[in-house]
């Protein structure tokens, strides 16, 4: 039986949703590895909408689930209906949506909170001893979700690393092609586009993260 992985998205687009290349590279590696995947997103409004051509905020609202459907070719599940029991592992791509929509780190820094439905869903994998992978900026949520002392990386940004340490996380500097593994908690993180200058660079760490997550699944 194929391993099945949930991929939690936060919209579509690096500045206000999920980072598209990170999401696609994750899905590509899962497919190459013979794993099944299901994209999931909260059915709620995004924090704001950014014009990706200009970088300016737009006077409109968009829905995370609807936008995530662009990445998933329509096959996206409402987070409210998703059950941890249906999956073997969970992966969270980055993009500013992870820091704006799944939590409020972009606004509150180390005083952040995670959306209750996201917190409950991600934490349920940890409680079931199932592996979880997070990339780019998404690992800022790890101390809040998994507890103090959790090992993680967002790369080498000293300011973000300090915020993670303030929240009780054990941040480890890693290169774009590397991952940070917390074997006790079955967690894997990688910098991805926190450091990557192109897809080829980003793919190295992302592919390794996916491989490590799949290797941790009990079958």
Question: 32 exposed, middle or buried (CB, 10 Å; 0-12, 13-18, 19+)?
Answer: exposed
Q: b vs e for 139-173, b when ≥16 Cβ sit within 10 Å of the residue's Cβ?
A: bbbbbbbbeeebbbbbbebeebbebbeebebbbbe
Dist. CA 74–CA 141, nearest whole Å: 27
In the residue annotation, 136 being an active-site residue is answered as yes
Query: What is the DSSP code (8-state) at residue 167?
Result: T
The residue from 103, 136, 152, 180 that is catalytic is 136
Q: What are phi and psi of 125, to 5 degrees?
A: -70, -45
Residues assigned a catalytic role: 136
């Amino acid at each position: 039986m194929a391993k099945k992985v949930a991929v939690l998205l936060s919209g579509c687009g690096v500045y206000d949703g999920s980072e598209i290349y990170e999401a696609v590279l994750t899905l590509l590696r899962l497919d190459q590895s013979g794993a099944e995947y299901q994209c999931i997103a909260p059915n709620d409004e995004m924090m704001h909408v950014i014009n990706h051509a200009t970088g300016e905020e737009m006077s409109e609202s968009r829905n995370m689930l609807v936008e995530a459907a662009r990445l998933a070719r329509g096959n996206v599940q409402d987070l409210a209906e998703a059950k941890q029991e249906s999956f073997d592992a969970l992966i969270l791509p980055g993009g500013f949506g992870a820091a704006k929509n799944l939590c409020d780190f972009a606004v509150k820094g180390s005083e952040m909170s995670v959306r209750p439905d996201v917190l409950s869903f991600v934490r349920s994998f940890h409680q079931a001893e199932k592996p979880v992978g997070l990339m780019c900026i998404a690992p800022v949520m790890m101390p809040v979700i998994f507890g103090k002392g959790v090992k993680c990386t967002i790369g080498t940004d000293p300011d973000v690393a300090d915020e993670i340490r303030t929240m009780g996380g054990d941040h480890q500097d890693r290169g774009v092609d590397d991952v940070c593994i917390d074997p006790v908690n079955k967690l894997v993180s990688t910098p991805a586009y926190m450091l990557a200058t192109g897809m080829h660079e980003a793919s190295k760490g992302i592919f390794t993260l996916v491989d490590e997550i799949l290797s941790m699944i009990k079958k």
